[in-house]
Amino acid sequence: MAPIAVAPTSPSPSAPRGGGGNISHSAIVIGAGVVGISTALYLQRGGVATAVIDPLGPAGGASFGNSGMLSPDTATPIALPGMLRKVPGWLADPLGPLAVRPAYFPRALPWLMQWVKAGQLPRVLAISDAMRALHRETMGCWRELLGDGLYHELIRPSGQVHVWEDEAESPSEAVEQQIRARHGIESQVLSTDDLRQMFPGIARDIKRGLLVPGNGYTVSPQRAVQSLAALFRTAGGEIIDERAMKLIPREGGGWMVMTNVANRSAPHVVVAAGAWSAQLLSPLGVRVPLETERGYHAMLFAPGVRPAMPISSKTRAFGITPMEDGVRIAGTVEIAGLDAPPNEQRAKVLVEHARRMFPDLRTQDVRYWMGFRPSTPDSLPILGGVSGRPGLWLAFGHGHFGMSGGPPSGRLLARLITGAAPGIDPAPYEARRF
Ligand SMILES: Cc1cc2nc3c(=O)[nH]c(=O)nc-3n(C[C@H](O)[C@H](O)[C@H](O)COP(=O)(O)OP(=O)(O)OC[C@H]3O[C@@H](n4cnc5c(N)ncnc54)[C@H](O)[C@@H]3O)c2cc1C
């Protein structure tokens, strides 16, 4: 994909409403989640006059309610060898870690089959190399974007702990260990006693743990993304609260974004609309295997218990993260598409899991939330251009890892768009791998 012309950095006036969609920005980013805002900010800093379009504003999607775990040292895809054997057991329990709504199953089947294929060991190792290459820059990119002051306010490079309720290792743990060894990722095995020292009040059911010291978290995913948006606006960037309805190639080059109220044009358009990205692309004949893994959280505002760092239960597939306004319990995967209403029972069961881990947890003051993870079958995002569609760029599909992968993806995209050296090999993230 040819690099694009770069416009001056001066603040851009709003494009006119209606009419022919005169060009007033060099790039339009669709979506103000962590991926879109990071991309817009990197583009802006690279000298590209950029606008963001999103009817919900910054952090109104999955970027609002995730667990906030930032994981430069996580290079393990979701689909792993040995996992298929667990799936029937999970599916038998409608409130288990994985649920597929029966009516949606036929639509999800092709994606699920690609997911199974991605879980074969040689592919898993190649995926993990690409995850590592992108994610290892997580903390550096957050710091670069936020600046030192906001970084220290919002980001905690504390480490993360994984815990198990059973003594015996599962086959997928051996693969995870192999991946950590492959990438030289530091980790430390924790006994029951270690866990009780680190997390006073943790139940004896929690038998063993693993500390990954290179990981961390944000105390507020929402405020982290909104802070990036504020920096973007302060530097002259425009965030427009409109919904992109259709992308139309312009005669002579560039793109027109037809929104619910206006036509907006630019030489470059970045689709960073999270789980909704495929809908915008399919009228152009661009097909991507994007499914939504719906996830839930229960936010406890007066929990009475505050772990010193995020804990992920590998037995029950949920996480607990200490946040600035309480403790967030999040997780579960529900395959049910973009339209089915939330099943709040899936959020309530997370509270039960957390109380089993911390029996003293106070759970009265709670908010339940559901969000749409934008997921590819191989756990890697889709980043880069589209062959035969100059000026059209893709930045979505971060699945379980968008808070970690968002800023480094934004940097990669901005470098590709401006023709700068990408820093990492972009090939593993290209749409054409599917
Ligand atoms: C329960 C849960 C826990 C998670 N925990 C973690 C974690 O601990 N660590 C981690 O790294 N990741 C985590 N994730 C994943 C992470 O939240 C996502 O990968 C990430 O937020 C995706 O960001 P995004 O910008 O692609 O999408 P989103 O944040 O969903 O943003 C997409 C935006 O596009 C906008 N949009 C959609 N259609 C249009 C349109 N037509 N026109 C204009 N705008 C449009 C939407 O309004 C939305 O604001 C978790 C996710 C969930 C659900």
Higher pLDDT: 90 or 218? It is 218
pLDDT in tens, 1-37: 344 433 333 333 333 344 346 667 899 999 999 999 9
Predicted local confidence at residue 122, as pLDDT: 94
pLDDT at residue 14, rounded to an integer: 38
pLDDT at position 96, please? 85
Residue type, 73: D
Q: What is the pLDDT of residues 236-292, one digit of tens each?
A: 999 999 999 999 999 999 999 999 999 999 999 999 999 999 999 999 999 999 999
> How far apart are the CA of 176 and the centre of ligand 1, in A?
25
Q: Is 264 in the pocket of ligand 1 (CB under 6 A)?
A: no
Q: Check pocket membership of 32 for ligand 1, CB cut-off 6 A.
A: yes
CA 369/CA 358 separation, integer angstroms: 21
pLDDT band of residue 86 (cuts 50, 70, 90) is confident
Per-residue pLDDT of 413-432, as tens digits, reads 999 999 999 999 999 999 99
Residue 167 phi/psi, 5° resolution?
-75, -35
Mean pLDDT of 88-110: 86
Greatest CA separation for the chain:
68
Measured by CA distance, the residue closest to atom 4 of ligand 1 is 66
How high is the mean pLDDT of the chain? 93
CA 395 – ligand 1 centroid, Å:
11
Nearest CA to ligand 1 atom 2: 66
Q: Which two tokens stand for residue 247?
A: 């992308």
Q: Are the beta carbons of 4 and 372 closer than 8 angstroms?
A: no
**Which three-class secondary structure state does DSSP give residue 238?**
strand
* DSSP letter assigned to residue 399: G
What whole-number distance in Å separates Cα of residue 335 and Cα of residue 375?
11
